[in-house]
């Protein structure tokens, strides 16, 4: 009978220790998540080249660096006026070489681009915008849509 009570006490102690470890690990994960976010809700990541950039959370809406840069370049083209850009991406693409066992992972690919520009009512300027975007991102002109901005 004493042996059964000792085993029961050991099991209870082990159970409480396990619960304590789970609670501490949960608190550590929450603390880690809080520490990696800046005050405005964005998460900071480190690129492969050592630079840092911020990724916007779902609550905040901000343009990516590519969108901002392309918007600046398009706005500099004669007749375009002010331009805004939105880029959509596909997931990472894996390619397998048939002759070797290597698998190459490409980065996110651009799926499509939407541009709103003041001068897009002119067909020639609209065509210039489409060609410029298609050339910059190496995508087909069919994946670029241009609208006139109000």
N-term to C-term CA, the chain? 86
pLDDT of residue 19 exceeding 80 = yes
Mean pLDDT of 68-85: 91
Examine the domain organization and report whether 93 and 141 are in the same domain: yes
Taking phi first (over 0 means left), then psi (-120 to 50 degrees means alpha), and beta for anything else, what does residue 30 get? alpha
Q: Does residue 14 carry a pLDDT above 90?
A: no
Tens-place pLDDT, residues 41-52:
555 555 555 555
The owner of tokens 């241009």 is: 146
Of 60, 80, 111, which residue sits at a domain end?
60
- Phi, psi values for residue 23, rounded to 5°: -65, -45
As a whole-number percent, the residues of the chain with pLDDT over 70 amount to: 63
Q: What is the pLDDT of residue 32?
A: 77
Task: Name the pTM for this structure.
Answer: 0.51
pLDDT at residue number 30: 83
Distances (CA, A) of 144 to 24, 31, 76, 92: 50, 43, 19, 20
**What is the rounded average pLDDT for all residues in the chain?**
77
pLDDT for 121 equals 92
Q: Are 52 and 99 within one domain?
A: no
How does pLDDT run across 87-136, given as a tens digit for each residue? 888 766 555 665 665 655 666 788 899 999 998 999 999 999 999 999 98
pLDDT for residue 61: 47
Domain that holds residue 18: 1-60
pLDDT at 46: 55
Query: If you average pLDDT over residues 59-72, what whole number do you get?
Result: 74
Report the CATH number that the domain containing residue 123 is assigned in CATH: 3.30.300.30
Q: Do 25 and 76 sit in the same domain of this protein?
A: no
- The model's confidence at residue 58, banded by pLDDT at 50, 70 and 90, is very low
Residues 100 and 134 in one domain: yes
């Amino acid at each position: 009978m004493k042996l059964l009570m000792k085993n029961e006490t050991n099991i209870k102690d082990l159970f409480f220790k396990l619960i304590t470890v789970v609670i501490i690990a949960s608190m550590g994960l929450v603390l880690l998540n809080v520490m990696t976010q800046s005050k405005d809700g964005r998460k900071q990541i480190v690129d492969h080249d050592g630079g840092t950039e911020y990724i916007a959370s779902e609550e905040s809406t901000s343009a990516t660096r590519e969108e901002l840069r392309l918007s600046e370049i398009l706005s500099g083209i004669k007749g375009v006026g002010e331009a805004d850009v939105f880029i959509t991406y596909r997931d990472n693409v894996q390619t397998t070489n048939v002759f070797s066992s290597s698998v190459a992972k490409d980065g996110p690919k651009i799926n499509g681009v939407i541009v709103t520009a003041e001068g897009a009512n002119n067909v020639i300027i609209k065509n210039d915008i489409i060609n410029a975007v298609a050339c910059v991102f190496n995508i087909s002109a069919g994946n670029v849509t241009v609208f006139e901005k109000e």
